């Protein structure tokens, strides 16, 4: 059954890479290696985004558009775990891939445990703060008493899953950095499937509504963390086999140099995530000015864009792993070749996916909303996201080698400039002028277009290869 689901995805990724190779745009050898690492992460992303999308659909079916808007208002706060944890995990991937490529297996464990300690130190205070301030926080960006109440209920429970989510990211990136993308796929995709099942039972069977959706997320995240901990502590996982990373007793030793390098690489990545995803706070506050119907349409469009964006995660991480391993051995030319090929394959995949969704935007939108007052706006915004997500593919493809090398400041610059200078002004103009919903569409395009230009320009400069020399193992 699993092979029946996985084979078409793997075959599609392989065929797109080989098609580009046939035209001389990429190397066949590199395309196969990129595909081998990318497709498991794409499956994981599809499973996780499907879980998130199913949550919205189930909550909407059970409680209506106010609940959809409420979960949408709460989601940016829940995503703080992924913003911060993803930044730390990006540093983990950079350090592990370079050490793995250089054959320094003895230094991998310390990088992983240092990352885990930092993830806990950051997320545990967030849990306490959100538990105490859930309703005021949601009220900052949400409108409508019913939607805010739903959002606060969801967020207060979901916050307990934040440390688990951050630890899962650290563990999965460590394995990807060592060339193993399949194990994170098995664990995290399995957790997403478990999450959907738990949510269906808790929302409809137990009648817990948005609290059930949040509780299912916490339980599934905890189960995935337990699986990672078991596998990494023993160096193998039942049903998967041996893992390339094992955390022995030596991994508990504190290395100040590793910690310093981790913070230097991870801090800009975490800030980039905070700007990229944290920008949803003021953006949703502006969207709420349009009313709950437009807010619900906007949330649905973002969920569909998240689904389309999953290939970038796979290709971005594959690029980081292969580029980092090449840099670890001093092969800068090979690192650049992997980075270029991964970017080209990623953009090709994005174009194909976006074209398909654009053509069937109506049926996709009807999976979430049936209200004739909401549906046309939803369809229009979904079609705009089809264009913006292709630019997102450029961002993730170009950011992969920058993350591997430790050159993580320029993506931050791109997202800050986009958010402050373009996205929020465009959305606000839509809310207060006759521009209307078109302002939201323009904001979605600028949200990805500006970072794509900045990040790609830095990638093309090759300066990231020089930056990597400061972080390579001796």
pLDDT tens string 16-70:
989 999 999 999 999 999 988 888 877 777 776 666 667 677 777 777 777 777 7
Summarize the confidence of residues 386-401 as an average pLDDT. 92
Q: How confident is the model at residue 350 (pLDDT cuts 50, 70, 90)?
A: very high
- DSSP-derived secondary structure letter, 181: -
Element (H, E) at 73: helix 65-78
C-alpha–C-alpha distance, residues 105 and 93, integer Å: 14
Q: Which residues share a beta bridge with 242?
A: 236
Contacts of 260 (CB under 8 A, 6+ apart): none
Neighbouring residues of 340: CB distance < 8 A, sequence distance ≥ 6: 26
Share of the chain above pLDDT 70, in %: 94
Instruction: Report the C-alpha gap between 98 and 354 in whole angstroms.
Output: 34
pLDDT at 352: 93
Q: Give the per-residue pLDDT at 455.
A: 95
Burial 47-83 (b: 16+ CB within 10 A, else e): bbbbbbbbbbbbbbebbbbbbbbbbbbbbbbbbbbbb
The pLDDT-based confidence of 254 (bands split at 50, 70, 90) is: low
Task: Give the pLDDT score at 236.
Answer: 84
Give the model's confidence band at 460: pLDDT under 50 very low, under 70 low, under 90 confident, else very high.
very high
What are the helix (H) ranges across 159-204?
A: 162-177, 182-200
What confidence score (pLDDT) does residue 10 get?
A: 77
Query: In the predicted model, is pLDDT for residue 390 greater than 70?
Result: yes
Round to whole Å and give the CA distance between 443 and 453: 16
Tens-digit pLDDT profile for residues 78-101 = 777 778 888 888 888 888 888 888
User: Rg of the Cα trace of the chain?
Assistant: 21
> What mean pLDDT do residues 394-417 have?
90
Strands 236-237 and 241-242: antiparallel
- In the predicted model, what is the mean pLDDT of residues 419-432? 92
Quick: pLDDT tens for 351-385. 999 999 999 998 888 877 777 878 889 999 999 99
Give the predicted TM-score (pTM) of the model: 0.75
Highest mean pLDDT pick, 61-75, 286-300, 308-322, 419-433: 419-433
pLDDT at 458: 95
Query: pLDDT band at residue 474, thresholds of 50, 70 and 90?
Result: low
Q: For the stretch 275-301, what's the b/e string if a residue is b when 16 or more beta carbons lie within 10 angstroms of its beta carbon?
A: bbbbbbebbbbbbbebebbbbbbbbbb
Number of H helices, E strands in the chain: 20, 2
For the record, the structure tokens of 366 come out as 């009807």
DSSP track, 425-460: HHHHHHHHSTTTHHHHHHHHHHHHHHHHHHHHHHHH
pLDDT for 239 beyond 50? yes
365, 424 contact by CB (below 8 A): no
pLDDT at residue 4, as a whole number:
47
Q: Is the pLDDT of residue 145 over 90?
A: no
- Note the helical H segments in 289-331: 292-308, 310-328
Distance of CA 43 to the CA centre of its chain: 13
Percent pLDDT > 90 in the chain is 29
């Amino acid at each position: 059954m699993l092979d029946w689901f996985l084979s078409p995805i793997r075959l599609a990724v392989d065929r797109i890479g080989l098609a580009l190779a046939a035209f001389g745009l990429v190397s066949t050898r590199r395309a196969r290696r990129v595909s081998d690492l990318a497709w498991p992460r794409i499956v994981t992303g599809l499973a996780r985004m499907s879980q998130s999308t199913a949550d919205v659909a189930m909550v909407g079916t059970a409680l209506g558009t106010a609940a959809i808007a409420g979960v949408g208002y709460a989601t940016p706060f829940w995503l703080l775990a992924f913003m911060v944890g993803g930044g730390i995990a990006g540093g983990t991937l950079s350090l592990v891939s370079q050490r793995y490529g250089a054959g320094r297996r003895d230094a991998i464990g310390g990088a992983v445990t240092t990352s885990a300690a930092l993830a806990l130190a950051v997320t545990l205070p967030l849990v306490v703060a959100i538990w105490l301030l859930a309703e005021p926080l949601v009220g900052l960006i949400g409108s409508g008493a019913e939607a805010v109440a739903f959002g606060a209920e969801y967020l207060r429970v979901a916050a307990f899953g934040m440390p688990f989510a951050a630890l899962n990211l650290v563990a999965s990136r460590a394995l990807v950095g060592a060339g193993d993308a399949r194990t994170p796929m098995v664990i995290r995709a399995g957790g997403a499937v478990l999450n959907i099942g738990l949510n269906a039972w808790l929302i409809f069977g137990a009648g817990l509504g948005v609290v059930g959706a949040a509780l299912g997320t916490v339980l599934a995240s905890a189960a995935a963390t337990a699986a990672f901990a078991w596998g990494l502590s023993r160096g193998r996982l039942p049903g998967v086999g041996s893992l390339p990373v094992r955390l022995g007793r030596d991994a508990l030793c504190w290395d100040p140099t590793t910690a310093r390098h981790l913070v230097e690489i991870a801090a800009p990545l975490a800030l980039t995530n905070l700007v990229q995803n944290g920008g949803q706070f003021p953006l949703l506050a502006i969207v709420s000015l349009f009313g709950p119907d437009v807010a619900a349409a906007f949330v649905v469009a973002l969920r569909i864009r998240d689904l389309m964006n999953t290939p970038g995660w796979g290709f971005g991480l594959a690029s980081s792993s292969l580029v980092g391993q090449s840099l670890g051995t001093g092969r800068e030319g090979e690192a650049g070749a992997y980075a270029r090929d991964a970017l080209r394959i990623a953009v090709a995949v994005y174009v194909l996916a976006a074209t398909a969704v654009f053509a069937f935007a109506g049926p996709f939108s009807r999976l979430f909303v049936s209200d004739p007052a909401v549906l046309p706006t939803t369809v229009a915004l979904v079609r705009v996201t089809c264009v913006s997500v292709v630019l997102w593919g450029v961002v993730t493809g170009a950011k992969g080698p920058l993350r591997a090398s430790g050159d993580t400041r320029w993506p931050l610059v791109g997202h800050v400039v986009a958010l402050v200078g373009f996205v929020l002004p465009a959305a606000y103009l839509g809310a207060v002028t006759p521009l209307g919903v078109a302002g939201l569409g323009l904001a979605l395009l600028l949200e990805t277009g500006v970072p794509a230009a900045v990040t790609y320009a830095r990638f093309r400069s090759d300066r990231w290869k020089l930056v990597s020399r400061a972080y390579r193992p001796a």
